[in-house]
Structure 1
Amino acid sequence: MQTLRDKNSQQNQQYETVHVNGQPITLQTNRWEVLDQHKWDKTKVTVSGGGGYVGPYGGYVNAPQVHTRQIAQHEIWLRDSDGKEVPLHLASHNFPVRPGHQLVLYGARTKKQSYLVGVKNMTTGTQIRMLNWQSVLAQACVLTAPLWFRLSGLARLILLFVLGWVCAGFRLR
């Protein structure tokens, strides 16, 4: 693994490029210091349905359906060894950090996009995983789905029919 080290700091960035199905993927870790954090909840409310009909001979009324969804938000301000400050936004993760803690971010980068795979608090030892490697490789279009999943519904039906017919033919003989 190659290591890039800043002359003025002991903090570092590590990276290694691997090839999966002939496509390069750069795996990297970056060490950051926590400067500040802020947590809040975001609530999403949706209403659906409702309405009806009332006439001289009766009718019906459909009550509206109200749905709420609460999403925990967490913003963590980080600083690298060069003094560059960036925010890290986490949704639906309870990740304990305090100013001064050291975090390591694990990621993967392809030619088109970067993916945050996980975060580890080196001070407390806690960690969270955002994606597993199979998801990263599938989203990056490096892994191809098995043939069965790439077939349309009709093609699957025809294949099952042919396989059933062939298997039945072997049993009759």
Structure 2
Amino acid sequence: MVEFIFPSKRDGWVYGVRGTVTNASKWTETRVSASGGGGYVPPQVSSTVVQRGDFWVKTADGKEVHIEKSLPVSSGHEVVILWGNFDGNKSGNYLYWYSRPQSQQ
């Protein structure tokens, strides 16, 4: 993790990982809700579909890092991922990511 000062003069941090994707999963979640109804009025039903995903990255020193984000990666891809936020926040937004199939040598 690297700590620094944003142009707004607020303290912040950036963390990154580089390595090979060892396992990638993707799935969807459907959320259904209903409101109203009763008597002669039917309830209003709505649904929302959310795309989810996660993957594991194995670094050069053997450390495995779990990334809980649906990014277009596959097992075997080499990735670089950076995320950060202002101090006091334990999690941050993904600022940059790069993924490519692993070189065959």
Q: TM-score scaled to structure 2, two decimals?
A: 0.75
Identify the match of residue 63 of structure 1 among 25, 42, 49: 42
1:9-20 to 2 correspondences below 5 Å: 15=2, 17-20=4-7
User: Which has the bigger relative contact order, CA under 8 A and spacing at least 6?
Assistant: 2
Counterpart CA distance in 1 for 2:10 and 2:97 is 27
**Contact 2:3/2:11 (<8 A) preserved:** no
2:16 is the alignment partner of 1:39: no
Q: Which amino acid aligns with 1:112?
A: G
Greater helix percent: which structure? 1
Cα 1:23–1:120 change in 2 (3 A) is closer
2:85 is the alignment partner of 1:120: no
Identify the match of residue 61 of structure 2 among 73, 82, 85: 82
Q: Which amino acid aligns with 1:117?
A: Y
1:69 Cα offset (Å): 0.8
Cα 1:89–1:69 change in 2 (3 A) is same
**Contact 1:97/1:121 (<8 A) preserved:** no
Unpaired stretches in structure 2, ≥5 consecutive residues = none
- Bigger CA radius of gyration: 1
1:24 Cα offset (Å): 1.9
1:22 Cα offset (Å): 3.7
- Percent identical: 27
Counterpart CA distance in 2 for 1:47 and 1:23 is 43
Counterpart CA distance in 1 for 2:58 and 2:21 is 7
Aligned length: 100
Cα 1:97–1:117 change in 2 (3 A) is closer
Matching residue of 1:107: 83
Unpaired stretches in structure 1, ≥5 consecutive residues = 1-12, 53-60, 125-173
Cα 1:62–1:110 change in 2 (3 A) is same
Q: TM-score scaled to structure 1, two decimals?
A: 0.49
Task: Name the Cα RMSD after superposition.
Answer: 2.4
Greater strand percent: which structure? 2
